Amino acid sequence: MRTLIAFLAVLLFVFAGCESKTEAPAKKEDPKKPAAEKPAGDEAPTTDEAPTGDEAPAAGAGLRIESLGLTIDLPADTMLSDVIGGGTGAMIMGGPVGAMTVQLATDNTPSTIEKAKEDADMYGPQNLNEETLEDGWVLTYTNEGGMGTNYWITAYRTIDEKGISCSSTVSTEDQQKAVVAACKSLKP
């Protein structure tokens, strides 16, 4: 099981490091076309894909993770997909979090902070920080890897009598803080 956790953590780290460094080219305005004739909203940025399914946010409430019946406070351009390995939940990529997973806890999910710390021991944790929540806990730490510092997050919450696991390994402290905030924002 530890091997599977290590594999998933590395996979999350890889996804977190794959941020696009390119920007969509700016639309060029036709200097011959008077401003009054330009279509409304021509200067607004556009995307090639419209959000569908789990990607579509509830009005003013963040993103909806339908399989869990939960909402998470993240920007609408953050993408949701199925959890790797067929669990119930979502793999979340983009936006301020880089990459993270929110899923229904299983028998292998650490449901106590003590168990989460035991699991973290295999990574040589540094800067270990634990926070108790009204309905669970959050554990953060760092470690040094071949590509620099890794920022880890493991959280567990009980929402509507369901154990919810929220986790990630990201490449910056800002992403770590964003994942913690996102985990804390989960609500029915």
- Say if pTM beats, i.e. exceeds, 0.75: no
SS3 state of residue 164: strand
pLDDT at 89: 95
Report, as ranges of residue numbers, the positions in the chain whose pLDDT lies below 70: 1-61
Number of domains within the chain = 1
Determine, yes or no, domain membership for 109. yes
pLDDT at 16: 42
Q: What is the pLDDT of residues 14-33, one digit of tens each?
A: 344 443 333 334 444 444 44
Determine, yes or no, domain membership for 131. yes
Determine, yes or no, domain membership for 54. no
Determine, yes or no, domain membership for 29. no
CATH of the domain at 150: 3.40.1000
SS3 state of residue 54: helix
pLDDT at 136: 98
pLDDT at 83: 87
Q: Domain range spanning residue 178?
A: 2-17+65-185
Distance from the Cα of residue 67 to its chain's centroid: 16
- Nearest in space to 152 (alpha carbons), one of 101, 93, 87: 101
